[in-house]
Amino acid sequence: MNFAALLERARGHASNTLSARRMDGSDHQVSVPALLDDVEALAAKLTQAGIRPGMQIGLQAGNGYEYLLWDLAAIKLGAVIHTVPEELPPEKLAALVQQHDAALWVCENRQALPGHPYRVDLADTCTDHPLAIDPAAGRLEDQDLHTRVYSSGSSGYLKGLNISRRGTEALVSDFIAAFALDPADSHLIFLPLSNYQQRLSVYGCLWAGASIRVVRHTSVFQELGAFKPSFIVAPPAIYENIYHVHGRGQQAAQKLGAFLGGNIRFMITGMAPIRHELLRAYNELGFPLLEAYGVTETGMIAWNTPATQRIGSVGRPIHPEHVHFNEESEVVIRRPFPLTQGYFDSTGSDGAQTFLADGTIATGDIGALDDDGFLYLKGRKKEIILTSGGAKFHPEELERKLTSLNGVRHAIVLQSQRGQEVVAVLVTDEADASQASGIADEDIRALNQSIPSYMHISRKVITSTIPSIDNGMLTRNLKYDRKGVYRYFQQQIEVTQA
């Protein structure tokens, strides 16, 4: 894939479609050439307003048709889309805008940036409403800078990332080849487009000719059966919930297949650890669920594919020569064109700890290769639990063991602030969590006997509350938010005895 030819190549896939919600609330489905006609119209309006290559266009919006138009129009013009997470409050957006030299800001939220002279309402994207740009806006001269995005990662605060044009082209090309994307494919996108992974999927589908459906995460379960995608990319929490409702009991394969739309060729998961039992269950029912691994700083690092899979690993490195390990067994990447050039809007220590002086990029993940070249991850370097006795371990090690217990859907291992004790938050199948307490006691005693004493679980919280974005236990990318889980159960964590 290359950006210079992307839109022209996509126009050649006349029979494929893109569908998404528009700002007027309508569900809009168009052929890819019709989509590109709308892109051309917006690009012409931007050119007339004075947008030139290298100028920044700020964009804060949720998933929808207009979001895609702005992204693709910027590609056509060589402008730099500066995306902001849609949940960033208006007051924080206003502070961020003051720091950056954007020609205009496009906002879905009508309360965002009131009175700003170069603000565009997302609803005016496809109207004749004139655009006003900042005549003093500068131009970024780096020809390899494709877009600017934000990530909170495990840090808990926003970090800006400068995304590489060549890094994007290389990663999308690798994905198309490894998973054999072609015009017969169809892809459902529901995670935020402001998360760059989803835009990578859009570019790959446009290049390969696959049809695309873009929705918001709240409607993903309704959309699967209606759109009938051939592949999806989702965090473990989505697959857990689907399997819990549709993947068990009699005729599980038929029920699961119907819910997924009857057209699934493969499914990809990553972003957080997944239960090995869940991977096996999907695959045994005939639905390839494949674990992959990457970080925004480098791009995808390893993946299982329909042709080569080993459950428990995150797959073989895409380019083995790019993957190295330091003395702490941290995965470090050295590649000619990483996905990210570096950080902006972050502390100096962030950049120094990630983009190392020798040219490698530290992922923050501890891992190892087996004899067959499959990569296994133990956990996040920053999330290592340090016990009061000075021992260290990865919470993910315990979580994998806990989620293998009967009836446990989710397990999050934390450390109490009072006493530095190991605490397990267990989400069970039981409607009444108290009924599962006795079983959990027995299971935890048995587990504690099989692991080193410094890993022993001292306290537990049994709950039937499923982690979600709304209750603060999942991030916007549907990963566990450990700080959010702690806040939600703080009283039980600090008081409840195992």
- Phi/psi region, residue 261 (left: phi>0; alpha: psi -120 to 50; beta: rest), is left
Report residue 48 CA to chain centroid gap. Answer: 35
> Cα separations (Å) of 456 from 320, 423, 440, 448?
36, 9, 14, 5
Neighbours of 62 (CB within 10 A): 18
The burial of 453, by beta-carbon neighbours within 10 Å (0-12 exposed, 13-18 middle, 19 or more buried), is given as exposed
Q: Which of 236, 240, 293, 285 is nearest to 264 (CA)?
A: 285
List of domains in the chain:
168-185+230-381 (3.40.50.12780), 384-495 (3.30.300.30)
Q: CA angle at residue 58 from 198 to 54, to 5 degrees?
A: 95
Neighbours of 442 (CB within 10 A): 10
Q: Which of 256, 260, 266 is nearest to 291 (CA)?
A: 266
The answer to whether the predicted template modeling score (pTM) of the entire model surpasses 0.75 is yes
Q: Which of 174, 214, 209, 212 is nearest to 194 (CA)?
A: 214
The continuous run of DSSP H or E covering 330 comes out as strand 330-333
**Residuewise pLDDT in 10s, the chain (498 residues):** 999 999 999 999 999 999 999 999 899 999 999 999 999 999 999 999 999 999 999 999 999 999 999 999 999 999 999 999 998 999 999 999 999 999 999 999 999 999 999 999 999 999 999 899 999 999 999 999 999 999 865 455 688 999 999 999 999 999 999 999 999 999 999 999 999 999 999 999 999 999 999 999 889 999 999 999 999 999 898 999 999 999 999 999 999 999 999 999 999 999 888 889 999 999 999 999 999 999 999 999 999 999 999 999 999 999 999 999 999 999 999 999 999 999 998 766 778 889 998 999 999 999 999 999 999 999 888 888 988 788 888 898 898 889 888 888 889 999 998 878 999 999 987 655 555 666 678 888 899 999 999 999 998 899 989 888 889 998 876 778 889 999 999 999 987 444
